[in-house]
Every structure is written in structure tokens, then in C-alpha cells.
Structure 1
Amino acid sequence: MSDSKRTILVTGFDPFGGEPVNPAFEAVKLLPDDIAGATVVGLEIPTAFTRSAQVVEEAIERERPDWVLCVGQAGGRAAITVERVAINLAEASIPDNDGEQPFDAPLREDGDTAYFATLPVKAMVRNINDHGIPAAVSYTAGTYVCNAIMYHVLYLLDRRFPGVKGGFIHVPYAVEQGVGKSAATPTMAVATMAKALEYAIEAIVHDETGAKGHDGGSSAAGTIC
């Protein structure tokens, strides 16, 4: 890293699966321009297996960030979940926004079986929880576009952008998305999600120890992008 001001690229998906909004990018839009002395660059990306990777790769080339944090929706989860690992598998139960629906397909033919997040996952969870917002480590990002972009980013950072760290956070449904769903469906205010992302980024900027440490709990998979 250089002595100049550091930058974090934060991405959020557009709506998918018939939902009117995607709380991931709605939360990203609420982030301040500066968090803990780092410049925040927000970016909306398509919920599409192929195009999302292309858009993020172009943004990394353009912005030359120190960190890349991708954010997606995990409908059915009640807490903010910070993902620990992405797997080299694309398996879609519904088509993405470009109509692509891969099944049992590798994301990268020359990629590793899995990549672990290189952001301080457990410090991120701890800082979110310390500010009164429920958060946990997750050990599955699914097999849809959320897992795909996490995998593609970590692949690119490993192969093309050494020294840049990356990871992924899932957020629950927004409150307004609960309308028409089961009364038991968990939701969270987008403003709360945005504060959780802010606390996660604080931990990223201040903690360079990696992903090890107390995990703050774990989460099962829900309906995730």
C-alpha cells in the first residue's frame, strides 16, 4: 500500500428475483464518503454471473483500491453475515438478470476449489456486534451470484492485484420487502444495514491481522443471491 489515502471499493447488487429493491446497494448508497480515514467508492453491479465480474474487474483497474468489499442480499437471514469462503461452483435455482442459469459449473476453470476472504472477517463481525447490530460469520455464500462475485474478486486479487484484500457481506431483506411475505420473515432497516457496513469498514481499515480471531457465532444459509 502507498502512503496516499487508502480506498475501499464497496459494491452492491441491483434488484433480482422479482424484488422491487436490493437492500445491498440501498445500504451502500447511504455510506459516507470517508470511513476511518479511507475513501469509500460505492458501485452498483448487475445480478449476473458474467457481467458482475466484468464490472468489478474494470472498477478495480480504475480505482486501484486497497480493499474490495462486496455486499449482497440474503433473504431469510436475520443478521448481517460476513462470509468466510467462496467456492468454485455456479448453480442457479433461478436465472440471473441476464437470463443465465448455470448448473454444476465451475466459475473459473483454472481457479482454486475455494478462496477464503482476506478481510478481517471476525474483527468485522465483532465491531458490528459491539455497536448493537446482530452479525455473525457465515461459512456459505451459496452458489448464486453472491458467491460468484466473491469468488471472482478473490480470484482476481490473487492472480492480478496482489496486496489488495477482499471479502463479502450478506444483508437481510429490507423492512419494505417483508410486505406480502410470511410474518416470520426477518427484515432489517436499510439504515441499520448501512451502519453495520460502516462498522465493518472501520474494522477493515483498523485491523490488519486477517480473518482469524473470535468468530462471534455462525449462520446457516438462507435465500441468498
Structure 2
Amino acid sequence: MHTVLLTGFEPFDQDVVNPSWEAVRQLDGMQVGSDVQIVARRLPCAFATAGDCLVQLIDQLRPSMVIATGLGPGRSDISIERVAINLNDARIPDNLGAQPIDTTVVPDGPAAYFSTLPTKAMVRAVREAGIAASVSQTAGTFVCNLVFYRLQHALVESGVRSGFIHVPNLPEQVMGVGLPSMALETVVEGLRVAVLAAWQTTVDISEAGGQVS
């Protein structure tokens, strides 16, 4: 049985829920194919521990694919990330009170890593399911980017494909604030479709997915 490791984060910044974890936990144990199963795990929202926790999960589970997810406040769609950068620059403290500014994720590591998932095929599949999705060119500089970078760094020579997806806030998180949101059941379905497309697609499609600015 192949394992697809799917991770989400614990709540942060005074939120009581994190939609990334609320969504992926509903996919735990789901069969992607006859011999492929999703295993969902929660990561801490902390610079000092999130990356190490993810690497430990990879060592324990030996997954055939890894997709990390996180909350993208202000985003309106399922955002399939393209690139992780070797930079921590926290606008707010993490859950342990750390706020690194202008530090590296991995000292002497490369400036960036690209996702090894078929990002554009995943976006197309999610859109065809009637759910808003896009390729994102930045995973930010908070713990999400750190996890994405550490993930790609850990698997760079393994042949295991991996990447990161940002999801929007839930409606109840932004009530009265005016920020975009997406219903939990829509996020769950979007992630399910994205995982299935990632597993089934070995060569990405070629179509426009960039941004002007």
C-alpha cells in the first residue's frame, strides 16, 4: 500500500481552528486508488519544530508522495504553490513566540526549491471540479514556507514527489471582516481532487499559470 502524507497546521494567531488541518483530517484514511491511502498529520505552527516534525513523519511513514497544506489568509482559492525560498521573515510571532527576521531556513541551502508536483495539472483538475484554484508563485515567509522548503530539501534526492497547497479562511473565521473564504466541504473536495491529480499525473501540463505582477 502506497502512502500519501498530507499535513495541515495547528491554529495560530489567536484563531481557534486552522482550515488546513480541519480539511486534511477529513481525508485521513481515504483511498486515492486501489493501493494508495492518504495519511493526515498535524504540524505545529512554530519555526523551531515544524520542519523537524515533518521530517520525522517522513522517516516514520516512508510516504510515496507528500503534500503539506496551510492557511493563506486573504486568499480566495486553492493555491498550489510553485516555489519555496530559503528565507524566514515573520510578520507575527509563531506559536512559541519566535519571530525570526531575515534568517535562512537551511544555512548554506539553495536560494529556492520548486515543487515536484504537477502544479498546473492539479489546478486544472480542481477548476474542472468547479472549485476556484490557481498556481501561486509565493508561499510567503512564515512557517508555511519553512515547511515547504524543508520538505523539498529533505526529499530532493529521494524521487518522492512533494509540494505545498494554501487554502483560504473558513467563513466563520472572517465573519464581518470582509476577507475571502471558502466553505470547509469545498476545501476538502478541492484537496481531494488535487491529491488525486498529483498522484495520477507524472508529467505536468503546459498552460499559462503565471502572473503579471
TM-score range, shorter chain: over 0.9
Q: CA deviation at 1:216?
A: 4.8
SS where residue 30 of structure 1 aligns?
helix
Select which of 33, 50, 61 maps to 1:63: 61
Does 2:189 correspond to 1:195?
yes
Q: CA deviation at 1:204?
A: 1.1
**Which residue is equivalent to 2:12?**
16
Amino acid at match of 2:167: V
**Which residue is equivalent to 1:164?**
160
Q: CA deviation at 1:20?
A: 1.4
Q: For residues 76-106 of structure 1, give each alpha carbon's deviation from its aligned partner in whole angstroms, at most 9, with x where no partner exists.
A: 1111100000000000011111111100001
What are the equivalent positions in structure 2 for 1:165-180 lying under 5 Å apart? 165-180=161-176
SS where residue 104 of structure 1 aligns?
strand
Q: For residues 164-187 of structure 1, give each alpha carbon's deviation from its aligned partner in whole angstroms, at most 9, with x where no partner exists.
A: 1110000000111022423xx111
**Which residue is equivalent to 1:207?**
201
Note if contact 1:136-1:217 (Cα within 8 Å) is conserved in structure 2: no
* Aligned residue pairs, count: 211
Note if contact 1:137-1:218 (Cα within 8 Å) is conserved in structure 2: no
Note if contact 1:27-1:190 (Cα within 8 Å) is conserved in structure 2: yes
**Which residue is equivalent to 2:47?**
49
Amino acid at match of 1:214: E
Q: Percent identity?
A: 42
C-alpha spacing 1:218/1:148, structure 2 compared with 1 (3 Å): same
| CA distance in 1 between partners of 2:153 and 2:86 (Å) | 10
Structure 2: which 5+ runs fail to align?
none
**Which residue is equivalent to 1:105?**
103
Amino acid at match of 1:139: Q
SS where residue 50 of structure 1 aligns?
coil
Q: CA deviation at 1:142?
A: 0.5
Note if contact 1:137-1:215 (Cα within 8 Å) is conserved in structure 2: no
C-alpha spacing 1:46/1:13, structure 2 compared with 1 (3 Å): same
Q: TM-score, normalised by structure 2?
A: 0.94
**Which residue is equivalent to 1:140?**
138
RMSD: 1.6
Note if contact 1:83-1:140 (Cα within 8 Å) is conserved in structure 2: yes
Note if contact 1:136-1:218 (Cα within 8 Å) is conserved in structure 2: no
C-alpha spacing 1:47/1:175, structure 2 compared with 1 (3 Å): same
Structure 1: which 5+ runs fail to align?
221-225
**Which residue is equivalent to 1:125?**
123
Q: CA deviation at 1:213?
A: 2.0
| CA distance in 1 between partners of 2:201 and 2:17 (Å) | 32
Q: TM-score, normalised by structure 1?
A: 0.90
**Which residue is equivalent to 2:30?**
33
Q: CA deviation at 1:19?
A: 1.0
Select which of 147, 150, 162 maps to 1:149: 147
SS where residue 89 of structure 2 aligns?
coil
| CA distance in 1 between partners of 2:208 and 2:194 (Å) | 14
Spell out structure 1 runs of 4+ moving beyond 6 A. none
Note if contact 1:136-1:219 (Cα within 8 Å) is conserved in structure 2: no
Note if contact 1:139-1:219 (Cα within 8 Å) is conserved in structure 2: no
Select which of 68, 76, 79 maps to 1:78: 76
